[in-house]
Structure formats: structure tokens, C-alpha cells
Amino acid sequence: MNTDAPTKRPGGRSARVRAAVHGAAVALVAERGADQVTLPAVAERAGVNSSTIYRRWGTLAALLADIAQHRGESGAPPLVGDLRTDLENQAVWTLAELSRPGGIAFFRAEVAPDVDDRHEGLRECLRRVGERFRPVLDTARERGDTPPPPSLEQVLDRIVAPLYFRVVFSIPGTDEAYVRELVGGFVGEPGPGA
């Protein structure tokens, strides 16, 4: 990961502005819903000039996507070294991120119908999801698990896709117990890596 990007330098003015703007946007989305939030309202709440926000993010969708990206980089559960447990933990965490106030709004912003932003946001969102689960699969392969772990693509189909689908469609019962059952049904099958 590129942790040297100038906009992420901790402690600088740029980082302070970003933190204030992110905090204001998250609070406003939670209070009003993403459709009632505008960049000027975020600027006012953050105590930052509107023109700064327009220059740096351009659109609300881009700002929300930046927040989603930032969220995805911190707080991931550590690996414990067991495929099923690690998949469960990453999946539970993914669900928690999607379910918190505004969580799905940030996902929606990433898949917004704004063509250029969308392609960028989607690539980024998929990359982040991949980065959550890839280490789980890599370490299982390195340990020499039998049967071998599934592919990342199988994890997307069997775990990540149902989570997103269920959160987007607000399907009842999409909770931690459901996630553990989903993972158990997948990993418990004969030869998911076959």
C-alpha cells in the first residue's frame, strides 16, 4: 500500500483538513442520510472553506469514496491462523463496516452512476475487499492446509457477494450468526479449493 501519499502525511495541515472533513461528512451522513448531504454543508460543519473541499474532492461521491477507502485501511481483525476462523472474522468485520450508520451509503457512493468516479471507486472498493481476504488465503496456503484454501474469486462469490447483496437489500437476519453459518457452509464443504 502506498502509505507515503502526501495527502496522508500524519500531522500535516492536509491531514488535519482531511480528518475534519471526513469526520464532518460521516456525522452528517449518519444524521441526514447521504442524499441530504452537500459539500457546502460538510465544509460548514468541518469549519473548512468550501473551495478547499471542491478543489480536493470535487464531488460528494468522491469524498464518500475517499472515506470508505480510509475506513477500509484500519481496524481489520488480526489473523489467528485458522482458515475458517479467519474468514469468519474478516466477514463479520466486513458486515459490521457495511452496517454501521452510513456504511452502505459509502458503498453506494462508490458505485454511483457518475461514470469516471464509478469505475475508479469500484476498482478501489474491490481492491480493498480483496486485501481483506487475500492474506487469509495466502497464509492458509503457506501453512499447507488440506484441503487447499479456496480462491479469492470463490470467496467473493460465496461470502462477500451475499453480504453486500443482503445489506443493500436490507434482508432481515443478516447478522453475525448468519455470517458464521455462511462461512461454515462454504469451508465445511468437501474441497472448496478443488
Positions in the binding site for a second copy (CB under 8 A): 33-35, 105, 108-109, 111-115, 119, 122, 125-126, 156-158, 160-162, 164-166, 168-171, 182, 189
CB–CB of 159/91 below 8 Å?
yes
Cβ(22)–Cβ(70) under 8 Å?
yes
Minimum CB distance to a second copy, residue 150 (Å): 11
Question: By C-beta, is 21 or 125 nearer to a second copy?
Answer: 125
Q: How far is the CB of 53 from a second copy (least distance, A)?
A: 19
| Residue 126, φ and ψ in degrees, nearest 5 | -65, -40
- Residue 149: phi, psi to the nearest 5? -65, 160
**Residue 7 CB neighbours (<10 A):** 11
Tell me whether residue 48 or residue 63 sits nearer to a second copy (CB atom). Answer: 63
Least Å distance, CB 108 to a second copy, is: 5
Closest to a second copy by CB, 48 vs 164, is 164
Residue 65, number of CB atoms within 10 A of its CB: 25
